[in-house]
C-alpha cells in the first residue's frame, strides 16, 4: 500500500474491535428493552389473548381495562381497591423524607467541609461506616427503638427511618461537593458579617443547586423503590406502592391476571422513570460538577 501523506483529519478505520463493541451495545439494548416491551404489550392485552402464549406479539386490539383495574380495582387479599392508595402513601412517605434528608445532609456536608468542628473527621468516618453497613442489620433494633418512642407503624416513623438511612450517603455527597468550594468564600462572608446559617442559605445553597437536584433524585428513587423498610415500619395504613404491588402480584386466589400485574408494575415504576427522563440533564451536570468558577 502506498504511504499516504498525512494531511487533514486522521482517516477513521473500522476494526473488528469496533464491530464487536457495537454488537455488544445492540445486544445490551435488546436485553434491557425486551422485558419493558413485553410488559407494555401484555398489560394492553385481554387475559384470553395472553393465554395464547405469544408474549412478543402486539395486542390484537388495545384494551386498557387492566390499567384501570390495577389503579382502582385490583385485590390485595380480600381488599380490592387497586394500587391507588399505595401511590398516595408513597408520595406522603417520599416527599417529606427526600426534603428532610437532603436538607439535613446539605447542612451536615457544609458544616463538615467548611467549618471543620472539632472531631469532624471522626464524625465523618462514623457516618461513612454507617453508610457501608447493610441496613438490614439495623432492622430489629430499629423496630424496638421506634416502638419505644411510639413511632412504630406510623407515617412519621417511616419518614424518620428513611431520613436516618439516607443521611450517610447524602452527607457524603454534599461534603465532597462543598470541599471543592474555596475556603476563602466562607472567610469573605465572615468578614462581611454573615454567620453559619446566612452563609449556608445565601451563598452555599445557591452554589449547590445541581447537587441538590442530583441528591434529591437519588433519594427520591431510592425511597420510592424501597420495599423492606416500608413493609416493616410504615404500618397497614401507610403501606407504600411497592408493598401493595407485591401484595397484588402475589395474591394466590384465583387466576393470575398478568395484564393487571404488568400494568400495576409499570404504574409503580412510572414515577422514578419520569423523574430520570425529565431531569437527566441536571443529573449529569450535578455528577460532573466540580470546582466552583468565579
The least distance separating other proteins from the CB of residue 174, rounded to whole angstroms, comes to 17
- Which range touches other proteins (CB under 8 A), out of 143-151, 155-163, 201-209, 216-224? 201-209
Report, in angstroms and rounded to the nearest whole number, the Rg of the chain calculated over CA atoms: 25
Residue 228 interacting with other proteins (CB under 8 A): no
Q: Please identify which residue in 30, 188, 273, 274 interacts with other proteins, judged by CB under 8 A.
A: 188
Binding marks (x or -) toward other proteins, 205..224, rule CB under 8 A? Answer: -xx-----------------
The least distance separating other proteins from the CB of residue 205, rounded to whole angstroms, comes to 9
Q: Please identify which residue in 189, 245, 248, 262 interacts with other proteins, judged by CB under 8 A.
A: 189
Cβ nearer to other proteins, comparing 206 with 290? 206
Dihedrals φ, ψ of 67, to 5°?
Answer: -65, -45
Cell of 144: 424496638
Cβ nearer to other proteins, comparing 102 with 203? 203
With contacts defined by CB under 8 A, how many residues of the chain interact with other proteins?
19
The least distance separating other proteins from the CB of residue 214, rounded to whole angstroms, comes to 17
Sequence-distant (6+) residues with CB within 8 A of 204 are: 110, 114, 178, 181
Element (H, E) at 79: strand 79-80
The least distance separating other proteins from the CB of residue 186, rounded to whole angstroms, comes to 8
Residue 237 interacting with other proteins (CB under 8 A): no
Closest to 269 in 3D by CA, of 39, 93, 38, 92? 39
Distance, first Cα to last Cα, the chain: 54
Q: Please identify which residue in 40, 144, 202, 256 interacts with other proteins, judged by CB under 8 A.
A: 202
Q: Please identify which residue in 51, 116, 198, 256 interacts with other proteins, judged by CB under 8 A.
A: 198
Q: Please identify which residue in 182, 273, 276, 287 interacts with other proteins, judged by CB under 8 A.
A: 182
DSSP 60: S
Residue 192 interacting with other proteins (CB under 8 A): yes
Report whether 149 contacts 84 (CB < 8 A). no
Cβ nearer to other proteins, comparing 178 with 258? 178
Cell of 4: 499516504
Footprint of other proteins (CB under 8 A): 182, 184-185, 187-194, 198, 202-203, 206-207, 292-294
Amino acid at each position: 500500500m502506498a504511504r499516504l501523506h498525512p494531511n487533514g483529519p486522521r482517516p477513521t478505520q473500522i476494526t473488528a474491535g469496533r464491530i464487536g463493541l457495537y454488537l455488544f451495545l445492540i445486544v445490551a439494548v435488546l436485553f434491557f428493552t425486551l422485558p419493558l416491551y413485553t410488559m407494555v404489550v401484555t398489560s394492553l392485552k385481554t387475559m384470553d389473548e395472553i393465554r395464547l402464549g405469544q408474549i412478543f406479539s402486539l395486542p390484537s386490539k388495545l384494551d386498557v381495562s387492566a390499567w384501570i383495574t390495577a389503579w382502582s380495582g385490583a385485590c390485595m387479599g380480600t381488599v380490592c381497591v387497586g394500587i391507588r392508595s399505595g401511590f398516595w402513601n408513597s408520595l406522603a412517605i417520599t416527599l417529606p423524607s427526600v426534603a428532610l434528608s437532603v436538607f439535613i445532609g446539605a447542612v451536615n456536608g457544609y458544616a463538615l467541609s467548611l467549618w471543620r468542628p472539632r472531631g469532624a473527621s471522626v464524625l465523618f468516618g462514623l457516618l461513612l461506616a454507617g453508610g457501608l453497613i447493610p441496613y438490614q442489620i439495623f432492622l430489629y433494633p430499629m423496630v424496638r427503638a421506634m416502638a419505644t418512642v411510639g413511632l412504630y407503624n406510623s407515617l412519621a416513623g417511616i419518614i424518620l427511618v428513611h431520613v436516618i438511612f439516607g443521611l450517610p450517603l447524602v452527607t457524603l455527597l454534599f461534603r465532597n461537593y462543598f470541599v471543592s468550594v474555596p475556603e476563602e468564600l466562607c472567610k469573605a462572608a465572615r468578614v462581611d458579617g454573615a454567620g453559619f446559617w446566612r452563609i449556608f442559605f445565601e451563598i452555599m445553597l445557591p452554589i449547590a443547586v445541581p447537587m441538590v437536584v442530583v441528591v434529591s433524585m437519588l433519594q427520591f428513587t431510592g425511597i420510592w423503590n424501597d420495599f423492606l423498610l416500608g413493609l416493616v415500619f410504615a404500618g397497614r395504613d401507610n403501606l407504600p406502592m411497592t408493598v401493595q404491588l407485591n401484595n397484588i402480584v402475589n395474591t394466590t386466589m384465583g387466576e393470575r391476571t398478568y395484564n393487571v400485574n404488568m400494568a400495576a408494575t409499570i404504574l409503580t415504576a412510572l414515577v422514578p422513570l419520569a423523574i430520570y427522563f425529565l431531569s437527566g440533564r441536571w443529573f449529569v451536570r450535578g455528577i460532573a460538577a466540580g470546582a466552583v468558577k468565579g
